[in-house]
Chain A
């Protein structure tokens, strides 16, 4: 995320591209999303996404690995994301049972640009995971395209850049 913030237009940093009130709405929304993920509330998390043309992307090997030419950890459109939800909820998906206990801290929330109802936002998170006696710590940066709707913010596009995306990682048994 640092890179997106470092490269942001000066007005996004100095004055900010949204009001302080709007900034707080964005932060509340991202914390709400984080809470749904921590609590494994998949149906409600899925409701945060809007439109048919959505992308949930977790790159592999580097933050910028092109999914058209390289492998991704997750590169979901809506049908693939819905199948992911089926498995996350399925009691016979062994890697997800027992469920991991999760706590994540969202920080560094910076709206980068506004185009009509669309808002480009970056943030970072640290995530503690405990499952079957093993503790893992995950760090990541997120890049969002949010849509401001009458019902609140909705996600159209989300890219999660894990700090360890080029290391041998254990199962990622939850949403990031």
Chain B
């Protein structure tokens, strides 16, 4: 498979030996040269989540993002198509857009004045007559990201011209993305431009993973709070967790998909609460309407399922996307020991404001730099990063539950909620990409 730069920059390290079935070598979290290779072999090669199309709703709306090392402009062009272009003037390489979001008719490089339209075409060259006759502006448009795909509004991108289709890449994980979108009675979600909680931690990007084993320890202070509340209602559109979803005796599962995607699958744990969730919602006018509209759209049985799942697939799409509770999470690796995490609250279309307000407050309560939940995750990731430096015994164990995995008919593998099937799925994809020719 041809990649952007792997033939120029690359190491001869034997990555195959650093990832075994039940353990990985800690150097993959701490060694900066491994990080360099990850950029080339994973982030400049496989599919990455870029943005949700609702973040650029109108012609000329743009947003800057980072895909691997590449600064990228996502812009809705004059034909309403979302273009992903490298934010780099084709003349001397300066960024042609500096605002992180906004609306523009064109992008001008302020070094020498070259100008590009929203389709990326070079439409203005200062003193063009001084260039050779063979100079053709058509050949100097902004560089497009090699491949762009869209699954129900989720826009993905790959810097590699070749490789499997987005459809194949997502595979059975797609129906988990559906859980998030179909929490809306019109099957539409909205991610608002510029509404995002931006956090960072001093640790490796691979630490952030689906882990059903940690909540009883990392989030013990939150469970204490929940236990003191009169009602545990709160998450999303009315989940009720009167039982522990992280107990191995619960029907919760960890799930591994092809291509490194993974989920904490709470569907079977939440389904028995469908009636309670519906009753809870029906206590308010917006909630009653929501239940009615969901039933009209999806039929009673599926509507109740969707309400019970409350739009929370708890899905990790390798390598940079997670859909958890009420938000879309994007992981941005900065170095082997620094990671940014962007959390975009998801708003449901076709619902009363009370439903979205509740989702927003619920999101804030657990996620963000001063919330109840995610700061403890970030703290643990930093403690891990400091601990990994002491690599006298360098292997990290990921073997929990390896002997009780079950294969499902759709090609996914599942095990109990505390089992490390999710980490194994992610690391096997890491190994596949890092060792691929």
Q: B197 touches which one: A60, A69, A87, A170 (CB < 8 A)?
A: A60
**Docked-complex contact A170 and B378, CB < 8 angstroms:** yes
CA of A90 to CA of B227, assembled, Å: 14
**Docked-complex contact A166 and B198, CB < 8 angstroms:** yes
Q: Does A169 contact B (CB under 8 A)?
A: yes
Q: Across the two chains, which residue of chain B brings its CB closest to A61?
A: B194
Task: Point out the residues of chain B lying under 8 angstroms from A71, CB to CB.
Answer: 195-197, 343, 345, 360, 363-364, 368
Task: Point out the residues of chain A lying under 8 angstroms from B357, CB to CB.
Answer: 68
CA of A86 to CA of B227, assembled, Å: 12
**Docked-complex contact B375 and A61, CB < 8 angstroms:** no
Minimum CB–CB distance for B7 against chain A, Å: 32
Q: A93 touches which one: B197, B221, B228 (CB < 8 A)?
A: B221
CA of A70 to CA of B435, assembled, Å: 42
Q: Does B114 contact A (CB under 8 A)?
A: no
Task: Point out the residues of chain B lying under 8 angstroms from A93, CB to CB.
Answer: 221, 376
Stretch at the interface among B68-76, B102-110, B161-169, B199-207: B199-207
Minimum CB–CB distance for A122 against chain B, Å: 21
**Docked-complex contact A61 and B195, CB < 8 angstroms:** yes
Task: Point out the residues of chain A lying under 8 angstroms from B200, CB to CB.
Answer: 168-170
- Supposing A86-B224, A86-B225, A167-B198 touch, asked if A73 and B380 sit within 8 A by C-beta, the answer is no
Task: Point out the residues of chain A lying under 8 angstroms from B196, CB to CB.
Answer: 60-61, 71
Q: Across the two chains, which residue of chain B brings its CB closest to A165?
A: B198
Q: Does B83 contact A (CB under 8 A)?
A: no
Grouping DSSP codes into helix (H, G, I), strand (E, B) and loop, the A interface class, with mixed when no group exceeds half, is loop
Task: Point out the residues of chain B lying under 8 angstroms from A173, CB to CB.
Answer: 375
Total residues of chain B contacting the partner, CB 8 A = 40
**Docked-complex contact B372 and A87, CB < 8 angstroms:** yes
Which of B192, B342, B372 lies at the interface centre, i.e. has the most chain A CB atoms within 10 A of its CB? B372
Minimum CB–CB distance for A152 against chain B, Å: 27
**Docked-complex contact B225 and A95, CB < 8 angstroms:** no
- Supposing A86-B224, A93-B221 touch, asked if A169 and B199 sit within 8 A by C-beta, the answer is yes
Q: Does A8 contact B (CB under 8 A)?
A: no
Task: Point out the residues of chain A lying under 8 angstroms from B378, CB to CB.
Answer: 95, 170-171
Minimum CB–CB distance for B372 against chain A, Å: 6
Task: Point out the residues of chain B lying under 8 angstroms from A114, CB to CB.
Answer: none
Q: Which of B353-387 contact A (CB under 8 A)?
A: 353, 357, 360-361, 363-365, 368-370, 372, 375-376, 378-380, 382-383
Minimum CB–CB distance for B171 against chain A, Å: 31
Q: Does B279 contact A (CB under 8 A)?
A: no
**Docked-complex contact B199 and A168, CB < 8 angstroms:** yes
CA of A67 to CA of B363, assembled, Å: 12
**Docked-complex contact A92 and B221, CB < 8 angstroms:** yes
Minimum CB–CB distance for B360 against chain A, Å: 6
CA of A72 to CA of B222, assembled, Å: 19
Task: Point out the residues of chain B lying under 8 angstroms from A70, CB to CB.
Answer: 192, 194-195, 360
CA of A72 to CA of B192, assembled, Å: 14
Minimum CB–CB distance for A75 against chain B, Å: 6
**Docked-complex contact A69 and B224, CB < 8 angstroms:** no
Q: Which of B154-204 contact A (CB under 8 A)?
A: 192, 194-202
CA of A167 to CA of B65, assembled, Å: 14
CA of A93 to CA of B194, assembled, Å: 30
Q: Does A119 contact B (CB under 8 A)?
A: no
CA of A84 to CA of B228, assembled, Å: 13
Q: Does B340 contact A (CB under 8 A)?
A: yes
Minimum CB–CB distance for B380 against chain A, Å: 6
Q: Across the two chains, which residue of chain B brings its CB closest to A75?
A: B364
**Docked-complex contact A171 and B379, CB < 8 angstroms:** yes
**Docked-complex contact A95 and B379, CB < 8 angstroms:** yes
CA of A32 to CA of B221, assembled, Å: 29
What per-residue 1/0 map shows which CB atoms of B77-102 lie under 8 Å from chain A?
00000000000000000000000000
CA of A60 to CA of B197, assembled, Å: 7
CA of A58 to CA of B201, assembled, Å: 20
CA of A172 to CA of B372, assembled, Å: 11
**Docked-complex contact B370 and A73, CB < 8 angstroms:** yes
CA of A13 to CA of B197, assembled, Å: 36
Q: Does A83 contact B (CB under 8 A)?
A: yes
Task: Point out the residues of chain A lying under 8 angstroms from B296, CB to CB.
Answer: none
20 contacts across the A-B interface (CB closer than 8 A) = A61-B194, A68-B353, A70-B194, A71-B195, A71-B196, A71-B197, A73-B364, A83-B225, A86-B221, A94-B218, A94-B221, A132-B382, A168-B200, A168-B340, A169-B369, A170-B201, A170-B202, A170-B378, A171-B369, A171-B379
Supplied contacts A71-B195, A168-B341, 5 more A-B pairs, CB within 8 Å? A60-B368, A86-B228, A87-B221, A95-B375, A95-B378
Q: Which 7 A-B pairs have the closest CB atoms?
A: A95-B375, A93-B221, A172-B370, A95-B379, A171-B375, A168-B200, A168-B198
